Amino acid sequence: MQKEIADIVIIGAGAAGLMAGASAAETVSAKSGGASVRPKVIILEKMPRPGRKIIITGKGRCNMTNLKDWQDFSTHVHPKANFLKNAFYNFTPYDTMEFFSRNGLETVAERGDRVFPAEGNSKDVVDALVKAAENAGAQILTGKEVSGIDVNGDGRFTVETAEGDTFVCSALVITTGGLSYPATGSTGDGLKWASAMGLRTVPCFPSLTALVPKGYKREEISGKGSGMKGHVDRCTPLSDTGSLLNGNRLKNVSLKISIDGTEVMDEFGDLDFTDGGLEGPLGFKASRRCVKALLNGSKVRAAIDMKPAVPLSELDTRIMSLWNGINEEAKNRNKSRDERMRILLSRLLPSDLIRGFLKYCPANDVKKVGKALKNWEMDICGYVGYERCVITAGGVSTDEISPKTMEAKAVPGLYIAGELLDIDGDTGGYNLQCAFSTGRLAGQSAAEKILNLR
């Protein structure tokens, strides 16, 4: 057991925490005479290694940021993007690229303004963040699970760990993330501490997650043991229909989402059928709104347009032309109508998709094939939960936090950043940039507080 007095303690060595640590140490050193007057900045991480969630981001490639300007970037941030504006301008996506370049990591911009490490390895991102924090003078302590936080009468904080260690500090930054991927250490600890210190939290729910169509999983065992309405555990076995669709990627399709009969989304892009359900860019983009609706007991329906560039009348004409040609070819081959229908569909759909498509859209009438392709409907009955969602929606209410400093309005010296805040973004680098921007501002603000106390 040990007791340490520190200037700043940061709980959570993820994207926001490591950035906060680097920024805090840099700021104090720079403004108080350089390296000879280094602050004591300690980052506590309960996992054996820092940055566990970053490692799995983007299937190991790590989409670090997105280069869109604020006007476009903000449309991908929910629910109150304007809260992020100060932090964004304080540390923009271009600042993020420069920061990583300065710490030995080159980046590349790809389609959709998305930025990745040049070698496509998420571990490089973690290494650069750790290097930046340690070179600035921050100390990273792993295997330190925080068990409690007290606000002392003198305005300082006492942080206790499960191992019996105690850390006393003048500024505390909490960056423990949300609830997604609990195996990486995100188990909602920060939410409990924030609530205990009087901060209001917004109910959390999974976002950027798989949507489960009705009949896709063995629903008789779906959600077993879960307390969330609509939750279907990722491990729930696929039904025969789900098995037929799993592994197919639909490119350049449109996805419409209706909630209680009202259309709320119509987007164009790529959609994946996976062992979870509907994923890919379109599935993830729809998931936030769909999950929230399912939790509220609403009915959610998805409609896929497989041929969005072709009007229905034109598609019908093309289908009838194909059908007539197939019938002509089949005259002397004794092919059944079902066989001819399968030939028709093979000329309109990827062969691996046909059997799954027919489970939802039985092709008994050639005149209805075009409409089925333009409006492949499926009810959404559930979603994959925190066990495999990318991000947590909800968290510490932004009304409780100063957007200019990331300091809690009611608890001086306490700063909140990253996924713990009630801010989440679409897929495409937005969430990590939110973490970097809010972490940067929280670290700088904590350092300014320390300087003012000296």
Is beta strand 146-151 parallel, antiparallel or unpaired with respect to 139-142?
unpaired
Of all residues in the chain, the percent with pLDDT exceeding 70 is 97
Q: Are 204 and 43 within 8 A, CB to CB?
A: no
* Pair 289, 258: CB distance under 8 Å: no
Q: In 10 A of CB 75, how many CB atoms?
A: 12
Q: What is the pLDDT of residues 187-218, one digit of tens each?
A: 999 999 999 999 999 999 999 999 999 999 98
- Average confidence (pLDDT) over 86-112: 97
- Letter for the amino acid at 419? E
Pairwise CA distance, residues 8 & 29, whole Å = 13
| Averaged pLDDT for residues 44-59 | 94
SS3 label, residue 55? helix
**Residue type for 318, please?**
R
Q: How confident is the model at residue 224 (pLDDT cuts 50, 70, 90)?
A: low
Q: Give 361 or 10, the one with higher predicted confidence.
A: 10
Nearest to 284 by CA among 361, 211, 374, 368: 211
pLDDT of residue 58: 85
How far apart are the C-alpha atoms of 93 and 95, rounded to whole Å?
5
pLDDT of 222 above 60: no
pLDDT at residue number 333:
77
- Reply yes or no on whether the pLDDT at 346 is more than 70: yes
pLDDT value at residue 38: 64
Region of residue 262 (left: phi > 0; alpha: psi -120 to 50; beta: else)? beta
Q: Where are the domains of the chain?
A: 3-204+394-453, 209-389
* Placement of tokens 């359900």 in the chain: 277
Q: How far apart are CA 260 and CA 254, in angstroms?
A: 20
Specify which residues 159 forms β-bridges with: 149, 167
Q: Are 450 and 193 in contact (CB under 8 A)?
A: no
The per-residue DSSP string of 350-412 comes to -GGGHHHHHHHS----GGGHHHHHH-EEEEEEEE--TTT-SEEEEEE-GGGB-TTT-BBTTST
The number of angstroms, rounded, from the C-alpha of 449 to the middle of its chain's C-alpha atoms is: 31
Q: How far apart are CA 222 and CA 235, in angstroms?
A: 9
Does residue 302 contact residue 256 with C-beta atoms inside 8 Å? Answer: yes
Instruction: Kindly report the pTM of this predicted structure.
Output: 0.94
Cα distances from 82 to residues 322, 398, 446, in angstroms, run 53, 10, 22
Q: Looking at residue 21, what is its pLDDT?
A: 97
User: Between 324 and 31, whose confidence is greater?
Assistant: 324
- Does the structure show a pLDDT above 60 at 220? no
| pLDDT tens, residue by residue, 379-430 | 999 999 999 999 999 999 999 999 999 999 999 999 999 999 999 999 999 9
CA 99, 103, 108, 114 torsion-angle sign: negative
| Band (104; pLDDT cuts 50, 70, 90) | very high
Determine contact, residues 145/22, Cβ cutoff 8 Å: no
pLDDT of residue 29: 75
> What mean pLDDT is predicted for residues 62-79?
98
- 365 to 129, 315, 330, 357, 371: CA distances (angstroms): 59, 15, 18, 15, 11
Mean pLDDT value of segment 237-258: 97
Does residue 95 have a pLDDT over 70?
Answer: yes
pLDDT at 223: 54
What CA–CA distance (Å, rounded) separates 388 from 393?
Answer: 14
Residue 11 has pLDDT above 70, yes or no: yes
pLDDT at 227 over 90: no
Residues 408 and 415 sit within 8 Å (Cβ to Cβ): yes
Residue by residue, DSSP assigns 73-102 as: HGGGEES-GGGGHHHHHHS-HHHHHHHHHH
Is the Cβ–Cβ distance between 101 and 22 less than 8 Å?
no
The secondary element (H helix, E strand) that includes residue 251 is strand 249-259
8 Å CB contact between 63 and 432: yes
Using the predicted structure, report yes or no on whether residue 289 has a pLDDT greater than 60: yes
Give the mean pLDDT of 162-167. 95
Mean of per-residue pLDDT scores for the chain: 94
pLDDT-derived band at 226 (thresholds 50, 70, 90) equals low
Question: Class of the 3-204+394-453 domain?
Answer: alpha beta
Confidence category of residue 221, pLDDT binned at 50, 70, 90: low
Confidence at 30, pLDDT banded by 50, 70, 90: confident
Tell me how far apart the alpha carbons of residues 129 and 432 are, in angstroms, rounded to a whole number.
13
For the chain, what's the residue count? Answer: 454
What's the confidence (pLDDT) of residue 450? 92
Give the position of tokens 């109150």. Answer: 80
Check residue 338 and give its pLDDT. 86
